[in-house]
Structures are given as structure tokens and as C-alpha cells.
Amino acid sequence: MSGIYMAMEIARKAMFANQTAIQVTSHNIANVNTPGYSRQEAILTEAGAMSSSPGQLGMGSVVSGIRQQADLLTERQLVSENGSYASLDYTARAIAQVEGIFNDTTGTGLENRVSEFFNSWDDLSANPQGTAERQAVVSTAELLASEFRRIDSRLTTLKENTNKDIVSITGDVNRIAAQIASLNGAIKAALVQGQQPNDLLDQRGVLLKSLAEKIGYSSITDSLGQVDIYVGNGRTLVDGESAGSLVADASTPAPGSELVYDVKIRLPGQTGPVQVLDTITGSISSGELSSAVRFRDGYLTTVRDRVDQLAYAINTQVNALHSVGYGLPGGVPPTGVAFFTPLVPIDPLAPSKDAARNFQVDAGIVSDLRRVAAARVEGAETPPALPGDNRNALLMAGLRNVSVADLGDATIPDYIAGMVGRIGSETRGADLDLQHQKVVVNYLETRREEVSGVSLDEEMTNLIKFQRAFEASTKMVSLLDTLLDDVLNMKK
């Protein structure tokens, strides 16, 4: 009798164990497309044995646990490489926007405007008294000036957009940090109760990965399974169940005029006004946030400096030559006139600052074409200059072939070509970096998938396996039932 009951018990346990395994399989199938999900497996073990004569008899099977298939090393690498990918992706997209501003392949950019400007002086030299030629000099100069201002305003817009990005990324970071802190709490609670919170761990894994895309961090997992997160030179962002936050602070005006968005951190539990918070703008190690900051403070500034340098050089070179030249009789004053509005240096150490933004044909020239100085007074000659004198116009037209110290001894067209080529190769470099990183991430993701991914074929096979075992167990129960019937019918 005890044999039959025992066998019944074993069959019941088997049904239960295989049901659990089927449930796990079903969970795996359900999550086949869930990002960051790690395949789970019901661990079936023998249920032990009881002593009997002639020997020990097994007592069936039980599910001793649910195991997650994960390669921790790959997971960790994936988090950091994925973070690098996100930051390279941001940089490549940002730089491509700069490239768009300078795209000269259609022939309407700086090169063209500069050439047209110098050509107009050549035309003037052929007819120094011509009103049409003088007007052309002023018009091409205005086109050149507006091209400089257009570039400057587009770079400014890019900077403003980057600031908006910084605000939005810090928001993402804060949301993720808060979610991680709350998951920390749930994971701790489960572990304390002796449960393995596989799905919570997966969710937190996904969040940690997203966080790495936004900002570089270091982390420590404590004995209660909670992850503490540190950013910007070891400042705490998440401490167990409480999260700090980042603040994009626009309250510190730069010495110039534009607002500077600094990234500050409010530690978990920290109170007080923004002013007391630590600034971490310069110490963010990777992620989109660091790319945005570096793009704004690094690349964008560099490109702007190059453009300003060019604008400054053209402005000062043209003015130096123009102010010693002479206009047509009747123009007042006859000489000493600036052609472009002279730049007022904002910063004596960086005289070219904002040169592109303030690039303008001087109002005095626009209002009286006679002031365009095509003539010179040389050697023993005495003013006024003669109306047919074209010697200053010739020098002006020849300026394009003069090496300029402010441009590193390049000529103006060469400097423009170099600038354009440089931006092209920087864009290409950022693209190549991104493509390379994509390969690295793809490789790691495949490796992760190999271990942790769900294969539907495999799950279906398992399903059949567990289904058959379950079916056999049910058969077992009905068979044992007839056996019991037989026993009860013996006494009729």
C-alpha cells in the first residue's frame, strides 16, 4: 500500500515540478523580445530518498530554484561599451550638424563669397570711377558679411540646442537614478525573504545600461544586493534606496554674455540652494552628457574660434589697406575710412572673439560709395587722390594671395580650404569611431545573446519535453488509481 501512495506522491510532485518548468519556459517565450532579459531555467533536482529494505527508494523530483543564465563579465563590458557607443553617437551626430553649416560642395559658401568680394575689387580697378563697380564691391562685401553672421548664428543655435540637450539628459539621468533606487529597495526586500528576484535584477540591469548611455559612473553592489552609483569623481548619485539628482544650472553668467549651463549634483538627501551644490561639468567621464558638454565647450568653441579668426583676419587686413587708401573726390573724409565696422576687442587676449558675429560693412561706406578707397597717395604725391587711380583697388584684389600672420601665414582662400577639409575629416573621424564602436557593441551583444538570449526552438523543445513528462505523470496517477481500485475490489 505505502508503495502505491508513495508513487502517487511522486507523480504529484512530478506534475508540479514539470508545471513549474513549463511556467518558466512560458516566461522565457513571453520575454523573447524583452531587451536585457536573461533566460531563466527551472533547476530540477531529485527529492531525496527514504531508507527501506532492500535499499533506499527515491522520492521523485522537485524544483530547487530558478536560475538566470548570465555571463557577468560580458554584461559588465556591454554596459560600458554601450555607454561609449551612446557618447560617440551623440558626438558624431553633433559634428555632422557642424559639417552641414560648412558644406561648400554646392559652391555657395565662404570660399565663393570671399572670391566674389576680391573679384569685385578687380572689376573696380578696371573702372575706378564706376558707380556700378563701387556698388558691386559693397554688395559682395555685404554678402560675405552675412555669410559670416549666418555661420555664427547657426553655431550659436547649435550651442543653444546642446544646452537643451544637457537639460534633457540630466532629466533622464534623474529619472533613471530614481528608478534604480526604488528597484534597490525591492531587490533588498526580496533577498531578505530568501527569494531570488531575477526579473527585478534584469530590470535594474537595463536601467544601469541606460544610465551608462547617459553618464559615466562607477558602482558598488553591497551585501544586500543594492547598487550604489557614483558620478563625476566619486560623488554619490544613488545610495541604496535614495537617489540624488543632477541640475543643469544656467545661473552662472560667463564673463561675456551667453549663459553657461553647468552640471551640478544634489547628493541623496542634500538640501539647500543650487549655489551650494558641487559642479561636475568637467569631470563627467563618458556618456551622452559628457559628449554634449565636450561638444559645447570643446569642438563647437574650436570651430567658432577658427571662423572668428578668419573673420578677424579679413576685417583687419581689408581695413588696414582701406584706411590708407583714398576715395573719390567729394567723399568725406577722403582717407582713413574703415571698410568693415572695426572690431572692438571684448577680450584683449582674444581679439578675434565674436569677429564673425560682428562682421559688417561699415555704414559710412554703404551710405556714400565715394568712400570706397580705390586710390592711393604715394611718395611725393599730394592729396587729393585722382579719380582714375586704381592702385589701392589692385592691392585689395591682391590681398587674397597675401599670407596672413593671423591665419598662421596662410592666405585667406587656403585657410578656408584648410578649415573646410578639417571639418570634413573631423566628421569622418567621428563617424569611423562610431562605426568601430558599433562593431564592438554588436560583438558583445551577440556574446550576451549566446548565453542569456531566448531561443524559441530551444524553448519549444523544452516545452515538449516537460509536456511529455507532465503527461506521463498524469498517466501515472490514473494508473495508480486503478491499482488502488484493484486493491479495494479484492474483498467482494
Partner 1 sequence: MRVTDKIMYDQMRFSVMANRDRLFAIQQRIASNRKLTSLSDDPRGSEKASRLKSTRSELDQFHRNIRAGKTSLELTGAALQGVEDLLVRAKEISVQFSSGEYSAGDRKLAAEEVAGIYRQVVSYANAKNGSDYLFSGFGSGTPAYSAAGVWQGDAGVRELRIGASERMAVNVTGASVFGSSDSAGLMKDLRDFQAALDAGDTAGISNAMTTMDSGLNAVLSGLADVGTRLKHVEVMDIAIGTMQTSIATELSGIEDLDIAEMASELAKQEAAYQAAVQVAGRVSSLSILNGSSK
Binding site for partner 1 (CB under 8 A): 32-33, 96, 99-100, 102-105, 107, 111-112, 114-116, 118-119, 122-123, 125-130, 375, 385-391, 394, 397-398, 400-401, 413-414, 416-418, 420-425, 427-428, 431, 442, 445-446, 449-451, 453-458, 460-461, 464
Report in angstroms how near the CB of residue 381 gets to partner 1 at its nearest: 9
Q: Report how far residue 347's alpha carbon sits from residue 373's, in angstroms, rounded to the nearest whole number.
A: 30
Q: Report how far residue 25's alpha carbon sits from residue 360's, in angstroms, rounded to the nearest whole number.
A: 72
Our CB check for partner 1 shows the closer of 195 and 461 to be 461
Report in angstroms how near the CB of residue 413 gets to partner 1 at its nearest: 4
The grid coordinates listed for 168 are: 534633457
Q: For residues 333-345, b (16+ Cβ closer than 10 Å) or e, as one string?
A: ebbebbbbbebee
Report in angstroms how near the CB of residue 168 gets to partner 1 at its nearest: 27
Report in angstroms how near the CB of residue 463 gets to partner 1 at its nearest: 10
Q: Report how far residue 103's alpha carbon sits from residue 110's, in angstroms, rounded to the nearest whole number.
A: 10
468 CB-contact burial (10 Å; exposed 0-12 / middle 13-18 / buried 19+): exposed
Our CB check for partner 1 shows the closer of 324 and 394 to be 394
Our CB check for partner 1 shows the closer of 222 and 381 to be 381
Report in angstroms how near the CB of residue 402 gets to partner 1 at its nearest: 10
Q: Report how far residue 143's alpha carbon sits from residue 120's, in angstroms, rounded to the nearest whole number.
A: 12
Our CB check for partner 1 shows the closer of 253 and 329 to be 329
Q: Which residues are within 8 A (CB) of 402 and not within 5 positions of it... i.e. 6 or more apart?
A: 317, 411
Our CB check for partner 1 shows the closer of 203 and 427 to be 427
Q: What angle do CA 123, 125, 130 make, to 5 degrees?
A: 75
427: Cα separation from own chain's centroid: 14
Report in angstroms how near the CB of residue 82 gets to partner 1 at its nearest: 14
Q: Report how far residue 478's alpha carbon sits from residue 17's, in angstroms, rounded to the nearest whole number.
A: 18
Q: Report how far residue 396's alpha carbon sits from residue 374's, in angstroms, rounded to the nearest whole number.
A: 8
Our CB check for partner 1 shows the closer of 348 and 379 to be 379
Phi, psi for 361 (deg, rounded to 5): -75, 135
Report in angstroms how near the CB of residue 428 gets to partner 1 at its nearest: 4
Query: In terms of C-beta distances under 8 Å and separation of at least 24 residues, what long-range contacts does 73-81 make, across chains too?
Result: 74/444, 74/447, 74/448, 74/451, 75/205, 75/448, 77/444, 78/209, 78/441, 78/444, 78/445, 78/448, 79/208, 79/209, 79/212, 80/212, 80/286, 81/437, 81/440, 81/441, 81/444
Report in angstroms how near the CB of residue 132 gets to partner 1 at its nearest: 11
Instruction: Give the residue from 176, 2, 91, 58 showing the smallest Cα distance to 432.
Output: 91
Our CB check for partner 1 shows the closer of 114 and 480 to be 114
Q: Report how far residue 196's alpha carbon sits from residue 191's, in angstroms, rounded to the nearest whole number.
A: 6
- Kind and range of the H or E run holding 443: helix 412-452
Instruction: Give the residue from 471, 463, 465 showing the smallest Cα distance to 30.
Output: 463
Our CB check for partner 1 shows the closer of 254 and 457 to be 457
Our CB check for partner 1 shows the closer of 105 and 193 to be 105
Report in angstroms how near the CB of residue 296 gets to partner 1 at its nearest: 21
Our CB check for partner 1 shows the closer of 56 and 446 to be 446
Report in angstroms how near the CB of residue 443 gets to partner 1 at its nearest: 12
| Amino acid making up residue 90 | Y
